[in-house]
Amino acid sequence: MMSISQPAGEPNSNGLVYLDYAATTPVDPAVVEKMLQYMGPKGVFANASSSSHKLGQKAARVIESAREQVAELIGADPDEIVWTSGATESINLAIKGIVSSRQGQGRHILTSCLEHSAVLDTCRFLAQKGYEVTALKPDCHGLITSLDVLAALRSDTILVSLMHVNNEIGSITDIAAIGKIVGEKGIPFHVDAVQSAARLPLHVKEMNIDLLSLSGHKMYGPKGVGALYHKRDTSFSIEPQIHGGDQEQGMRAGTLATHQIVGMGKAAELIVERREQEVDQTKVHERVLLDQFASIPATSLNCRQSRVPGILNIRFDCVDNESLMLAISDAVALSSGSACTSEHLVPSHVLLGMGLSHEEASSSVRLSLGRFNTQAQLRCAGARIRSAVFDLRSLSDRWNGTSATYDSQ
């Protein structure tokens, strides 16, 4: 078996300081090592549905073991975990599956304008089919409250779908409070927990969640695998969106990718073991990075309240974010928002939804930290960003030398 080692905190092969963990995480070496056991001709590569021989039976057993690991991560029962190809499929299965099975009970879907495109585009598709979608607007801190949700619920609401942690600004939604209200109304509640799984404790029973989407590659596991939690003791059924087999309790057809599923299971196990320690480490690293910006005028955090450690959306006034990213692209990897929309040079819909102007949104970048960052990396990255901001402002006609100071509170 191949042994893989990687000194924690080392930059990748391109020598970059990686500050884009919200877009994707590197696969943990322990996860890679585990996955290799289920890929080659000497490994457990068989189809888990091939129950007629021992190799297929063994593949089925390790898939169930991984199901237990993911279930433990979120406080679920193993038989409530459905494997998918990623969070996008999990979200589509949850939203379309619930809506399809409840179309005779109403036509109203409640979500927010902060959501990932996987949710928003799915809701737009359903709106074209005649459903009515309400997208709640957040307050200036990027927060959706339980009172916002309560006020927007209707007698014909058939689904509420909200994210736990926003992928661009890191704002934390009070899912437990919202889940209680929605549950009392008898409405299914779906939660996008892609960004929170590696950063916050999750317990689907205590938080009154009916459906929850996860992604392997946002939690130090492989790309191409995800999971959907579907509450077992509920009257809400899911109509399958992929047909062609009876895998996953008939909810999702297709041959299960044993190596990827095992990888996601191992990643979940590592998070359960390390999350508290890593959150504390991230808080320290975040302060190291923010200290580099303390002397930069007209600089601020776009989300200051109820924010998860490690996702920082920072605005450098009078600095175009595309120009900034280009200026540091040889040394620092960061983004201006969601990776799924980064090819389109338009301001972040999340920042605009919070009330920022187009100019303010276009001056904002997202820095997201993770497991393999070091303090030395963050000091270097911060200094490089700081230098680039001053250089770009010196070339800007808009910059007038304002004396406003950095606000990280």
Give CA–CA dist 45/364, Å, rounded: 45
Give CA–CA dist 36/404, Å, rounded: 53
Contact 338, 116 (CB under 8 A): yes
**Residue among 310, 251, 260, 247 nearest 70 (CA):** 260
Structural tokens at position 381: 């990255």
Active site residue 340: yes
How far the first Cα of the chain sits from its last, in Å, is: 48
- Given 123, 140, 303, 340, which residue is catalytic? 340
Sign for the CA dihedral angle at 308, 314, 320, 321 comes to negative
CB under 8 Å, gap of 24 or more: what pairs does 127-134 form?
Answer: 131/99, 131/107, 132/107, 132/108, 133/108, 133/109, 134/108, 134/109, 134/110
Q: Which residues are catalytic?
A: 340
